[in-house]
C-alpha cells in the first residue's frame, strides 16, 4: 500500500501497473502531474499478514492541487500472488 502511494506521489506508472492484479489492471494509466500527494493515513487493515493470501487496507491519501486540498478515501483489496502483494480493487466507504 505504501509503495503504491509513493508511486502515485512520484508519478511512477510502471510500479503502479506492476503491482496491480492482472484481472483488474488497466492497459494504460496516466498520473495527473498537477496533483501533489502530501501524506498518507492508514486507517484500518484486515489480514495481509505473513501467512495471509489477501488483505484489505483502508486509507486516506491527502493531496493538493493548486490552492485546493483534498483526499482520496478508499478500502483497497490486495491479494498475494507468488509472494508479491497486488492491488485488486478498491471502494470508497
Residue 58: its pLDDT value, please? 98
Under the banding of pLDDT at 50, 70 and 90, the label for residue 91 is very high
Provide the pLDDT confidence category of residue 75 given band limits of 50, 70 and 90.
very high
Q: Residues 14, 28, 87, 66: is their CA dihedral positive or negative?
A: positive
Distance CA 72, CA 39 (A): 11
Residue 1 is predicted with a pLDDT of 82
For residue 58, the domain's CATH number is 3.10.450.50
- Per-residue pLDDT reduced to its tens digit, 1-50: 899 999 999 999 999 999 999 999 999 999 999 999 999 999 999 999 99
- When divided into structural domains, the chain yields a total of 1
Host domain of residue 6 = 2-91
Decide: helix, strand or coil at residue 9: helix
pTM: 0.91
Contacting residues for 29 by C-beta, under 8 A, at least 6 apart: 13, 16, 17
- 69: helix, coil or strand? strand
Amino acid at each position: 500500500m505504501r509503495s503504491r502511494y509513493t508511486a502515485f506521489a512520484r508519478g511512477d506508472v510502471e510500479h503502479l501497473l506492476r503491482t496491480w492484479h492482472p484481472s483488474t489492471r488497466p492497459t494504460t494509466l496516466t498520473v495527473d502531474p498537477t496533483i501533489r500527494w502530501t501524506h498518507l493515513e492508514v486507517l484500518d487493515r484486515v489480514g495481509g499478514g505473513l501467512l495471509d493470501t489477501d488483505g484489505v487496507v483502508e486509507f486516506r491519501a491527502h493531496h493538493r492541487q493548486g490552492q485546493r486540498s483534498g483526499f482520496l478515501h478508499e478500502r483497497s483489496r490486495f491479494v498475494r500472488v507468488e509472494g508479491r502483494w497486488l492491488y485488486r480493487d478498491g471502494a470508497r466507504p
